[in-house]
Amino acid sequence: MDSAVRARWHGRLSLGLLLAPAILWLGALVILPHVELGVLSFRERVSPHNYVASLAQYKTFFTDPLYWNVFVRTALMSVAATVLTLLLAFPIAWTIAKLSTGRAGSLLFILCLIPFWVSETVRTLGWMILLRESGVLPALLVKLGITAAPVELLYHDATILVGLIYTSLLFMVIPLISSLESLDNALIEAAYDLGAGGFAILRTIVIPHAAPGITAGCIVVFMLTLGNYLTPTLLGGKNSQWFTEQIYTQFITRFNWEQGAAFGFLLLGLSTAMVVIGLKITGQRFGDVMRRT
Amino acid sequence: MDAVSKRFADHLAVDALSFSVDRGSFFSILGPSGCGKTTLLRMIAGFIAPDSGEIAIGGKSMRDIAPNRRPVNMVFQQLALFPMMSVGENVAFGLGQRGMARAERIRLSHVMLERVGLHGAANKRVDELSGGQRQRVAIARSLVLEPTLLLLDEPLGALDLKLREHMKIELKQLQAAFGTTFVYITHDQSEALVLSDRVGVMSHGRFEQLGTPQDLYYRPQTPFVAGFVGANNRIVGRATRKDGAMVEITTADGWMIRARSHGAIAVGDAVEGFVRPEVASLGRLAAELPGGQPRHAGQVQSLLFDGANSAVLLQESRTRRAFRIALPQTGQFSDLKPQEPVLFSFDPERAVCFPARDQNG
């Protein structure tokens, strides 16, 4: 074997070795289970150990208003959570990227990061301690004379939204910071000099520049929110009606894997559709957006 | 445009400065980097508020008026064209902010682009343009708003030499065509001299001298201006003799020249003399030099050929001090060789001598 051939062979081997973990991860943990789930979702149990191919699982979803309602509700709540997260994260990212210099900026960023050292379960339990009827906030409201008796602040839609926003904030702040940092301050000054006011600068200069970052943050937050199980369950209790709970129920409580698999695919379809619609509306390309994150 | 005076604390970037610019004229602020000229410009634009003093434009005080409400527009150093917009949208941006209707906005921006020689470029992207074209878009974007005053922050700095020479002429023509008052800041003395009606030479937050380019070149008022504007031979020494306006300067190593004094100089004072390269004459023989001028002997150190700006660098024979002389256009000395002994002289009336500055800067 001459040296050129050997070098090429070495190159291929090292590339293969480098990619191996990613390929294994994708294959074993993402593609294989989804193929299995896909097969599961398209069959129906007619008698023990006897299955036939059918669309019955999907039919159940569209005919039973409960599932359909929960599905739409989950989607709308996720959209609301994403929009609210964006509105909250934008001033934070602006402060870190544009207003604070040097140490102050990194300190603020670390403050955003610190909550993520604690597991999501513990953080959500923290909210429960604050918000439950016998918790800190209702007691404070009584003490201040705002309410006569402690009120239950858990198990409302607003509570779920608060929890979801809290969980996703960092994933919105990071892409926003990186896209705002790359915005040349001279552009803002030039627009100001040419007569634009604060809102006009935001609309014509800042948002068009940060659009890929905004879209990237929204996609990540929307997917995380839609697929979240813990936060809606703990903070919303029985009223949460989150679609992931329906999937959990089918798999674990009802032991109806076929139905659960169909629901899983519907959720995947929903998140894909929403992302595509979002990209279409904002005129972004997926590749550009992902390069920004 | 009225008197402008202001003070900027911190490290006193701009120190109680006053000046006025005539309407429709081209005014340059010339100074080395860090002299406070950018701070001054940003105060006029309104991005920085002066600590004290008053800025007035067109007779109206600009105190507490935000940049977007001033009749002033700025061409930024890096131009700051909006990459998310087309060329036409860039030019129409300011008009849109004034609430002008879309059709009128587009019409005016097209007219403007035509005036700066960019006909048909309205739909191009900013990054499709060359450096010089971008420059013109940046100027068009500001001029379309018909500002009382256009500020230019070293806009030619990013261009290569050839284009810079070309844009210099273009800027001058644009200013003449529009009749807008231009305030231009630069560290390049040639830009300031070529372009301006009047120039303020700035150093350490103050104006060293304010005048026409000719004033600055032929009648510098301070050693800083003499050294900064144009090429000059600087000779540091002590005044050893004085008769009338003329001073005899003797350097520490004993070279003696004569120059016209500027400012109060007494015998024994430390002084700085300046002799322009084109003031001195060169000759191989004493007969070639103009009569009646003190003669000096030297040796060619190197030839600095630059077409019409060619010069020769000499060493004074005894002290080995460097002295630069412009070569005549006749090509008379094109055969000079390094190490060749020569004679040179200059009219002491056209050399100037200042009391030495405190620091040796």
Count Cβ atoms below 10 Å from residue B321 Cβ, excluding itself.
17
- Contact between B42 and A186 (Cβ < 8 Å): no
How are beta strands A50-53 and B280-283 bridged, if at all? unpaired
pLDDT tens digit sequence for A104-138: 888 888 888 888 888 888 988 999 999 988 889 99
The DSSP H or E segment spanning B300 is strand B295-304
pLDDT tens digit sequence for A6-18: 888 888 888 888 8
Contact residues, chain A, for B69 at CB < 8 Å: 195
- In chain B, CATH 3.40.50.300 covers 4-224
Q: Between the CA of residue A101 and those of A98, A107, B9, B11, B42, what are the distances in Å?
A: 8, 10, 21, 20, 20
pLDDT tens digit sequence for A47-73: 888 888 888 888 888 888 889 899 999
Q: How far apart are CA A88 and CA B70, in angstroms?
A: 33
Q: How far apart are CA A185 and CA A201, in angstroms?
A: 11
Contact residues, chain A, for B67 at CB < 8 Å: 189, 192-193
- Looking at the structure, tell me whether residues A3 and A134 fall in a common domain: no
> Would you state the structure tokens that stand for residue A125, as one six-digit string?
């339990």
Q: Residue B171: CB partners within 8 Å, gap ≥ 6? A: B139, B152, B156, B182, B184, B195
List the single residue in B66, B80, B93 with the smallest CB-CB distance to A184: B80
Nearest CA in chain B to A206: B84
How are beta strands B246-250 and B256-261 bridged, if at all? antiparallel
> Would you state the structure tokens that stand for residue B89, as one six-digit string?
């949208």
Question: Going by CATH, does the domain composed of B231-355 fall within 2.40.50.140?
Answer: yes
- In chain B, CATH 2.40.50.140 covers 231-355
Q: Which amino acid is at A258?
A: E
Residue matched to tokens 């602020």: B29
Asked whether residue A79 carries a pLDDT value surpassing 90, the answer given is yes
Q: How far apart are CA B299 and CA B306, in angstroms?
A: 20
Is A116 a domain residue? yes
Q: How far apart are CA B47 and CA A185, in angstroms?
A: 12
Is A48 a domain residue? no
How are beta strands B246-250 and B72-75 bridged, if at all? unpaired
Q: What is the CATH number of the domain that holds A230?
A: 1.10.3720.10
Q: Residue B187: CB partners within 8 Å, gap ≥ 6? A: B30, B31, B32, B33, B154
Contact residues, chain A, for B48 at CB < 8 Å: none
Q: What is the CA radius of gyration of chain A?
A: 24
How are beta strands B181-186 and B149-153 bridged, if at all? parallel
Q: pTM, whole model, 2 decimals?
A: 0.79
Nearest CA in chain B to A189: B47
Q: How far apart are CA B204 and CA B68, in angstroms?
A: 29
Question: What's the pLDDT score for residue B360?
Answer: 43
Q: How far apart are CA B153 and CA B135, in angstroms?
A: 12
Question: What's the pLDDT score for residue B330?
Answer: 80
- Burial class, B293, CB count within 10 angstroms (exposed 0-12 / middle 13-18 / buried 19+): middle
> Would you state the structure tokens that stand for residue B133, as one six-digit string?
């074209």
The DSSP H or E segment spanning A5 is helix A3-25
- Its domain, for residue A1, covers 1-41
- Looking at the structure, tell me whether residues A3 and A87 fall in a common domain: no
| 3-class secondary-structure state, position B293 | coil
Is A228 a domain residue? yes
Q: How far apart are CA B234 and CA B125, in angstroms?
A: 50
Largest interatomic CA distance in chain A: 88
Nearest CA in chain B to A199: B97
Asked whether residue A4 carries a pLDDT value surpassing 90, the answer given is no
Residue matched to tokens 């140490």: A103
How are beta strands B56-57 and B60-61 bridged, if at all? antiparallel
Question: What's the pLDDT score for residue B159?
Answer: 80
Contact residues, chain A, for B85 at CB < 8 Å: 204
- Looking at the structure, tell me whether residues A13 and A70 fall in a common domain: no
- Looking at the structure, tell me whether residues A260 and A145 fall in a common domain: yes
Tell me the CATH class for B4-224: alpha beta
Q: Note which residues in 161-200 of chain A have CB less than 8 A from chain B.
A: 184, 186-187, 189-197, 200
Q: How far apart are CA A170 and CA A93, in angstroms?
A: 10
**DSSP secondary structure, A42-100, as one string:** TEEEEETTEEEE-SHHHHHHHH-HHHHHHHHHHHHHHHHHHHHHHHHHHHHHHIIIII-
Residue matched to tokens 């940049």: B67
- Burial class, B65, CB count within 10 angstroms (exposed 0-12 / middle 13-18 / buried 19+): middle
Q: How far apart are CA A30 and CA A32, in angstroms?
A: 6
List the single residue in B73, B77, B78 with the smallest CB-CB distance to A194: B73
Task: Find, among B189, A233, A275, the residue nearest to A284 by Cα.
Answer: A275
Q: For each successive 10 residues of chain B (361 residues), what is the average pLDDT?
A: 55 76 90 86 88 82 88 91 93 92 93 89 90 90 92 86 87 90 91 92 88 92 90 90 88 89 87 91 86 88 86 88 87 84 90 77 39
Question: What's the pLDDT score for residue B231?
Answer: 87
- Looking at the structure, tell me whether residues A123 and A29 fall in a common domain: no
Domain count, chain A: 2
pLDDT tens digit sequence for A179-225: 999 999 999 999 999 999 999 999 999 999 999 899 999 999 999 99
- Burial class, B76, CB count within 10 angstroms (exposed 0-12 / middle 13-18 / buried 19+): buried
pLDDT tens digit sequence for B77-121: 888 999 999 999 999 999 999 999 999 999 999 999 998 888 888
- Looking at the structure, tell me whether residues A287 and A175 fall in a common domain: yes
Please answer yes or no on whether A193 and B82 come within 8 Å at the CB atom.
no
Question: What's the pLDDT score for residue B18?
Answer: 82
Please answer yes or no on whether A196 and B97 come within 8 Å at the CB atom.
yes
- Contact between A250 and A263 (Cβ < 8 Å): yes
List the single residue in A186, A194, A197 with the smallest CB-CB distance to B145: A194
Q: How far is A107 from chain B (nearest CA, A)?
A: 26
Q: Residue A1: CB partners within 8 Å, gap ≥ 6? A: A9
Question: What's the pLDDT score for residue B266?
Answer: 86
Is A161 a domain residue? yes
- Burial class, B17, CB count within 10 angstroms (exposed 0-12 / middle 13-18 / buried 19+): buried
- Looking at the structure, tell me whether residues A88 and A177 fall in a common domain: yes
This model of the complex carries an ipTM of 0.81
Question: What's the pLDDT score for residue A117?
Answer: 86
- Looking at the structure, tell me whether residues A156 and A22 fall in a common domain: no
- Contact between B321 and B251 (Cβ < 8 Å): yes
